């Protein structure tokens, strides 16, 4: 497994990370969740991403119950704060009150003394940015958080935050967690250049576009039973992708590029992403041990310039039109 620095920080994470958005604490039982987490660690994955709202907090709790099986120093735990956790007026957002309270709640669910990477799950227009940044800085000063990052912030929002941190003498953000894949590339025009300028690394979610880039979905066919695409509750963000034109392009990528390399189209898609500048980790979701084994293998696939060009040629028609 390759380990990459997150932005300009000294934190190093596995090129493939394991997430828990729609899996652990929800669709996957605890025994299977533990098997997936243990296999990930065995394969060298050290970056485990979750959030306080995933499965109503249960995703963090599953991870917390598994953690005694590992050395804490071997694990990089990332979690997030922003979305509502209750009906009260202060049960959401990036106010100092909500950030501090939810950090404490995540520490309890995870059963740890500190969080390696604490991320603002979205930007909060209703709270002064200085309040948010000072709360994060205080958590780092207290040792409850080691590094701070953001998720799905625009380039302008990142630049404003970095400028304010410098002006106030606060510890810098080290990461952004955007959606990024061959079928979702909006960050290339704005977020990636700004992040490079200010030293933020990308720990990206949905690198396989909800499974579309694995080739499991076929033009003119129903989504396979049990797949995310067949689950109305889980297939958010996928309507724009489960169309024949996109699915045909993925099949072409599999047939014309991946098969010649002797790899799956999913591994090719992950390898392409890991060849893009500024990417620290691609966070995959997995419900089985075999999925983790396949995804982890993608980190070792080297692609030459000619192959990268061929991938671009096949997928370029969807570079702009299929944005979230």
Residues involved in catalysis: 54
Number of H helices, E strands in the chain: 11, 10
Is residue 192 within 8 Å of residue 202, measured between CB atoms? yes
Residue in 9, 127, 54 with CA at minimum distance from that of residue 285: 54
Q: Taking the mean position of all CA atoms in its chain, how far away is CA 90?
A: 26
Q: How far apart are CA 214 and CA 211, in angstroms?
A: 5
Is residue 94 within 8 Å of residue 124, measured between CB atoms? yes
Torsion angles phi and psi, residue 198, rounded to 5: -105, 5
For 141, the enclosing helix (H) or strand (E) is helix 129-141
């Amino acid at each position: 497994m390759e380990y990459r620095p997150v932005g300009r920080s000294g934190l190093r994470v596995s090129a493939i990370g394991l997430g828990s958005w729609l899996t652990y604490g929800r669709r996957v039982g605890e025994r299977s969740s533990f098997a997936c987490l243990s296999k990930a660690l065995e394969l060298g994955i050290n970056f485990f991403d979750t959030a306080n709202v995933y499965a109503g907090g249960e995703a963090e709790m599953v991870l917390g119950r598994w953690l005694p099986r590992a050395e804490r120093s071997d694990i990089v735990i990332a979690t997030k704060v922003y979305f509502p956790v209750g009906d009260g007026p202060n049960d959401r957002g990036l106010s100092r009150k909500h950030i501090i309270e939810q950090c404490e709640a995540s520490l309890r669910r995870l059963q740890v003394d500190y969080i390696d990477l604490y991320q603002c799950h979205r930007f909060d227009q209703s709270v002064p940015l200085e309040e948010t940044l000072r709360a994060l800085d205080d958590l780092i000063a207290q040792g409850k958080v080691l590094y701070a990052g953001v998720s799905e912030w625009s380039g302008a929002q990142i630049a404003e935050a970095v400028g304010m941190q410098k002006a106030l003498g606060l510890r810098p953000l080290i990461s952004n967690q955007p959606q990024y894949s061959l079928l979702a590339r909006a960050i290339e025009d704005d977020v990636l250049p700004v992040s490079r300028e200010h030293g933020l690394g990308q720990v990206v979610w949905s690198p396989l576009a909800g499974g579309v880039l694995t080739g499991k979905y076929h033009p003119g066919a129903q989504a396979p039973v049990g797949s995310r695409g067949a689950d109305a509750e889980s297939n958010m963000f996928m309507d724009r992708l489960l169309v024949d034109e996109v699915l045909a392009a993925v099949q072409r990528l599999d047939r014309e590029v991946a098969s010649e390399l002797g790899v799956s189209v999913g591994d090719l898609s992950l390898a392409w992403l890991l060849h893009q500048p500024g990417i620290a980790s691609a966070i995959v979701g997995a419900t089985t041990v075999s999925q983790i084994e396949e995804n982890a293998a993608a980190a070792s696939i080297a692609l030459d310039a000619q192959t990268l060009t061929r991938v671009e040629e096949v997928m370029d028609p969807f570079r702009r039109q299929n944005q979230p």
